[in-house]
Chains A and B, each alone.
Chain A
């Protein structure tokens, strides 16, 4: 087995196993801890308010979208590029199909390019914001740069691979490895917000909702 087979075979399996297994374990641990010593998570739960709160932030229907429109725009572009190209990019759609027989929509390469570049521009915006804005700079730690780098690496190398920059095989290998690193890191880093965004908004949406102050 050569490096190429290793990266596109066992490494991908490992990344997905760590991601899905890790997220399942973390969900179970969160619910157990909540049951044992954080009862309001359950007793205060209001499905309607939880749902509205998630919806208001998955769509830009919130106070931050109005007051910080540029950060909101960058946030949406960043996540849209990452998720849409990640799941539906043509190369990826072929991969899903060949590896696991999954058939779903794919987006044309031209659109993937636009989404990827927009997403990378958002990464640049976030990085500059961390360096320039004093209040964000003061909060920034190594973990923030790690999270940003983990997300940016597969997008950048994917774009370079698709457009034939560098040695094609090496670039592709780096792309697969950095993609696997991103997927595997989700449950164990701040990227766990892929899961906890929903749990946190459910808790807070319920909490604000029961006071009849809107689905924040």
Chain B
């Protein structure tokens, strides 16, 4: 299938802005960002210098979106394969250039032509369809909460695990792997919040704190996923949403 370069140009135009232009221009190519990058620190190849990740974006801009499939494949490799968008490089940059911001804009180009890497795309599809990126069912969710509450109650008989309680202070969201792979984390959350005497609740809707849409560079999906957490918080009339890593 041929590359839809019109779609790429449109996305490029939509992503253009004051910060993007400024940062592309003032990068001094000093390479100091390399000190902050775990990719470069563990494998010091020139391609692992954070500033290097702006190359594909410059290339697409110079070509006004009209790039070859091979170049697009290289772009996908660079912006998904060599960056976790942790922003540590920005801490080391004398100009304070936010490279992750531009990596995300570049990822949007890939998203616009359906080139989101497979693993991310399936996690994103799961999140949109099932409400969490690991396709955990409502039953599994509640069972795991109940199980971990029982564990906590062995030490703290008074411990509670409220779900969908309205009007409390904190609504707790977390990563779905805490249900599927590391239920011990849930145990810790419950123990901590109960010991603190925190006025909290879990929620049956919008509990996945991850936003794969944001990470993948898919703005529409990012908005949908963030909107669910907001909607859950508003429905339960909580004062704040607590987001675990």
Q: Is B129 an interface residue (CB 8 A)?
A: no
Q: Is B90 an interface residue (CB 8 A)?
A: yes
Binds B, one of A5-13, A80-88, A97-105, A199-207: A199-207
Alpha-carbon distance between A191 and B244 when the two chains are bound, in angstroms: 42
Instruction: Please tell me which one of the listed residues B18, B51, B95, B97 contacts residue A41 in the complex, with CB atoms under 8 A apart.
Output: B18
Alpha-carbon distance between A141 and B33 when the two chains are bound, in angstroms: 17
Q: Is A138 an interface residue (CB 8 A)?
A: yes
Most buried by A among B19, B20, B34, B52: B19
Which residues A165-216 have CB closer than 8 A to chain B? 190, 192-193, 196-197, 199-201, 203-205, 207-208, 216
Which residues B41-94 have CB closer than 8 A to chain A? 44-49, 51-52, 90-94
Given A38-B18, A216-B90, residue A200 in contact with residue B97 (CB < 8 A)? yes
Closest to B22 in A: A196
Once the chains bind, are A68 and B29 in contact (CB under 8 Å)? no
Instruction: Please tell me which one of the listed residues B26, B40, B48, B97 contacts residue A190 in the complex, with CB atoms under 8 A apart.
Output: B26
Q: CB-defined interface of B7-19 with A at 8 Å, one 1/0 digit per residue? A: 0000000001111
Alpha-carbon distance between A136 and B29 when the two chains are bound, in angstroms: 7
Alpha-carbon distance between A147 and B92 when the two chains are bound, in angstroms: 22
Q: Is A37 an interface residue (CB 8 A)?
A: yes
With a cutoff of 8 Å between Cβ atoms, the chain A residues found around residue B29 in the complex are 136, 139-141, 144
Given A71-B32, A139-B29, A139-B52, residue A216 in contact with residue B18 (CB < 8 A)? no
Once the chains bind, are B95 and A134 in contact (CB under 8 Å)? no
With a cutoff of 8 Å between Cβ atoms, the chain A residues found around residue B47 in the complex are 138
Q: Secondary structure of the A side of the interface?
A: helix
Once the chains bind, are A139 and B95 in contact (CB under 8 Å)? no
Once the chains bind, are A135 and B26 in contact (CB under 8 Å)? no
With a cutoff of 8 Å between Cβ atoms, the chain A residues found around residue B48 in the complex are 135
With a cutoff of 8 Å between Cβ atoms, the chain A residues found around residue B44 in the complex are 135
Closest to B54 in A: A139
Please tell me the number of chain B residues within 8 Å of chain A, measured between CB atoms.
37
Q: Secondary structure of the B side of the interface?
A: helix
Q: CB-defined interface of B200-232 with A at 8 Å, one 1/0 digit per residue? A: 000000000000000000000000000000000
Q: Is A111 an interface residue (CB 8 A)?
A: no
Q: Is B31 an interface residue (CB 8 A)?
A: yes
Given A33-B17, A138-B52, A139-B51, residue A64 in contact with residue B92 (CB < 8 A)? yes
Once the chains bind, are B25 and A190 in contact (CB under 8 Å)? yes
Once the chains bind, are A63 and B91 in contact (CB under 8 Å)? yes
Given A30-B18, A203-B19, residue A193 in contact with residue B28 (CB < 8 A)? yes
User: Which residues of A does B touch, CB under 8 Å?
Assistant: 30-31, 33-34, 37-38, 40-41, 53, 57, 62-64, 67-68, 71, 75, 133-141, 144, 147, 190, 192-193, 196-197, 199-201, 203-205, 207-208, 216
User: Which residues of B does A touch, CB under 8 Å?
Assistant: 16-23, 25-32, 34-36, 40, 44-49, 51-52, 90-98
Q: A37-B17, A196-B25 are in contact. List 4 more A-B contacts (CB 8 A).
A: A75-B94, A135-B49, A141-B29, A193-B26
7 nearest A-B pairs in the assembled complex, by CB-CB distance: A138-B46, A204-B96, A34-B18, A38-B17, A139-B29, A136-B31, A33-B18
